[in-house]
Chains A and B, each alone.
Chain A
Amino acid sequence: MSKIDSPRQSRRSFLAAGAGVAASVLAKPALAGGGNPANQPPNVPEWTKALGEGVAVRPYGKPSKFEKDVIRRDVEWLTASRESSVSFTPLHELEGIITPNGLCFERHHGGIAEIDPADHRLMIHGLVERPLILNLEELKRYPRVNRIHFMECAANSGMEWRGAQLNGCQFTHGMIHCVQYTGVSLRTLLEEAGVKTTGKWLLVEGADAAAMDRSLPIEKALDDCIIAYKMNGEALYPEQGYPMRLVVPGWQGNLWVKWLRRIKVGDQPWHTREETSKYTDLLPSGKARRFTWSMDAKSVITSPSPQAPIKHGKGFTIISGLAWSGNGKVKRVDVSLDGGRNWWPTRLDGPVLDKALTRFYYEFDWNGEPLLLQSRVQDETGYVQPSKAELRKIRGVNSIYHNNGIQTWHVQANGEVENVEVA
């Protein structure tokens, strides 16, 4: 990647390409949408005259070529190699609550395992009456459940602990996705195998080149975990764990082991590398919290945001955003236009589901003056999303994980948006 522009310049050129400079008060309406006037009324464009491609020419559909910028992106300097790294969901381009399969953020520890399902096995053993080994076809014969859940990496927003760092909610909040999973309740399989009374913990392990393993308490395993083989109705994508993955609703993504190959029942936790050297939260005292599984309530305004500036100038303006909680349903979301001094209730639109993304809107008449946008969620347990300052007061700035602080976007008079902090 060559750096040719400062972000300010390139955002400006992006704005210019998109809509004429947004700051210009009401450019001519004909130009407002950009494009080629020869294709616009009163003229009749080529696609209205000539036939297009027929059915099944595109046997697996893809988005329009004009949506080529709606893609996962990575931050090159974050990690040593792409095989143990992360890409981010373009939240600023999405609406509703479901993430398209091809845009779900990726986090791998040993690259994408490309597994022939004929060769994949799931083994359940340890403190069980009847150890079990299953292939994908056998897993599909067990009763199915369908559940919509968000999955958030515990390190989501981790780069922001020390202050505003990345200009885009794709990068500040994009380690999250929300899809409908189809699979088998983990409880069903544990009952089939018969967990012994001494069985209190599960080791869950993947089949990839990292064979990632984590400890999971039996209470959660028997509550709402799923072994999923479909996402949004189709087979899991390889980068999401094809042919099967663990779903641990409301808990940190690292537990959602992909390419799941083994479940071992034991009487103690394993303290694996992922739950000791990683995914523990270092506090100012030098002590670290361990087993911080659940993801606290969090929200973010997805547009306007640094990658989604306001292009239309002043007037009726829509604020769109996402809220979620690992501890239940979203109860309410409020937004602030003045950096947290005053708050306004938003409208939740679409389904409000347990441990799933929830979409909120706030519509208002923008007078063109600069704004300091924030969103704040309260979940059904009464938990209110804290400010970053409140979080830092308790946790310092070195805990890496679980940064669910309130995000501030600075909307400038020309519609450009920047990631800032306020006090």
Chain B
Amino acid sequence: MSKSLKFAAVALLACALCAPALAQQKADAKSGPRYHIGRAPTADEIRGWDIDVRPDGQGLPEGKGTVAQGEKLFMDNCSSCHGEFGEGNGRWPVLAGGKGSLTSDNPVKTVGSYWPYASTVFDYVRHAMPYGNAESFSVDEYYALVAYVLYLNDVVTDQNFELTNKNLATIKMPNEQGFVMDDRATSEKSFWQKDPCMKDCIAPVKITARAAVIDVTPEDGKDGKPRGVE
């Protein structure tokens, strides 16, 4: 697939900037065992930990779940932090909304407004949710939950939609094309200079903003004890 080749090429390009040595280095780790320390994992050991999922669907476990099933799970296990509609409570993450906000003064990055691939939702939720009780749901429950989060974001619109390992990779996310590779080497080329200016570089300056005006710096408490210390 040429896409992966492109990624590798771009990665090489990006790395050429970080470490010139990389470009000459043979990307080759085939030399074979020299130390014979450690052992081969069993198929069972790998199965238990091999929980990652890729945009092309590689790694998706066999299973299925509907939006309606996901709604119930979400209300019972997720809405206390994320809100019943994914609007987020307090500082907990907002999961839905934010459409068209990425160019505004206050971008709201949600699964629908920002996340490029549906697989990421599955991978993340299965890795880390519910918060504090990770990896506690069945595979089918994870499919149902992801289906409901996609529904909250209007990515799927039918309550009876069933998300499965067969169809997850076919789902197109609204912001898939919203990303570009790291281009600092070209877009910020002006930051590379031969000799930085030393004398009369700019006109005399004035203070334009002060942190004390905002006054959000943490202070030690009344007892003189700083926060966060046992």
Contact = CB atoms under 8 A, between A and B. Distances in A.
Interface in B80-118: 81, 90-93, 102-103, 105, 107, 109, 111, 114-117
A382 B191 CA distance: 8
B214 A384 contact: no
A80 B197 contact: no
A155 interface: no
B41 A133 contact: yes
Interface string B41-54: 10001100111111
Contact of A192 (B35, B116, B200): B35
A306 B211 contact: yes
Given A71-B226, A270-B54, A284-B103, A342 B200 contact: yes
17 contacts: A7-B217, A10-B220, A75-B218, A77-B216, A123-B49, A129-B32, A132-B41, A133-B39, A164-B209, A168-B217, A191-B30, A191-B31, A251-B18, A292-B182, A293-B182, A294-B18, A420-B208
A381 B41 CA distance: 43
A187 B25 CA distance: 12
A209 B93 CA distance: 17
Contact of A219 (B11, B105, B109, B205): B11
A264 B18 contact: no
Interface majority SS on B: helix, strand, loop or mixed? Answer: loop
A71 B223 CA distance: 16
A3 B219 contact: yes
A18 B226 CA distance: 17
Given A141-B35, A168-B217, A422 B205 contact: yes
Given A192-B38, A219-B11, A290-B182, A131 B46 contact: yes
Nearest to B114: A277
Interface stretch (A33-41, A49-57, A333-341): A333-341
Interface stretch (B70-78, B140-148, B157-165, B173-181): B173-181
A293 B38 contact: no
A80 B93 CA distance: 9
Given A4-B219, A129-B30, A340-B205, 16 more contacts: A74-B228, A78-B91, A129-B32, A164-B214, A168-B217, A212-B127, A212-B128, A219-B25, A222-B25, A262-B49, A267-B4, A381-B17, A382-B194, A418-B211, A420-B207, A421-B209
A367 interface: no
A142 B37 contact: yes
Given A272-B124, A282-B102, A291 B181 contact: yes
The 4 closest A-B pairs by CB, nearest first: A273-B124, A80-B91, A419-B211, A339-B205
A66 to B, nearest CB: 13
Interface string A183-221: 000011011111111011101010001111100011110
Contact of B45 (A71, A133, A250, A381): A133
Interface in B1-60: 1, 3-4, 7-8, 10-12, 14-15, 17-19, 21-22, 25, 27-35, 37-41, 45-46, 49-56, 58
A164 to B, nearest CB: 4
B30 A203 contact: no
Interface residues of A, number: 130
A134 interface: yes
A288 B3 contact: no
A192 B210 contact: no
Of B18, B56, B103, B114, chain A has the most CB atoms within 10 Å of the CB of: B18
B54 A289 contact: no
A288 B178 contact: yes
A291 B198 contact: no
Contact of B221 (A1, A80, A190, A421): A1
B196 to A, nearest CB: 5
Contacts of B53: 270
A5 interface: yes
A343 B30 contact: no
A286 B203 CA distance: 33
Contacts of B12: 217, 219
B15 to A, nearest CB: 5
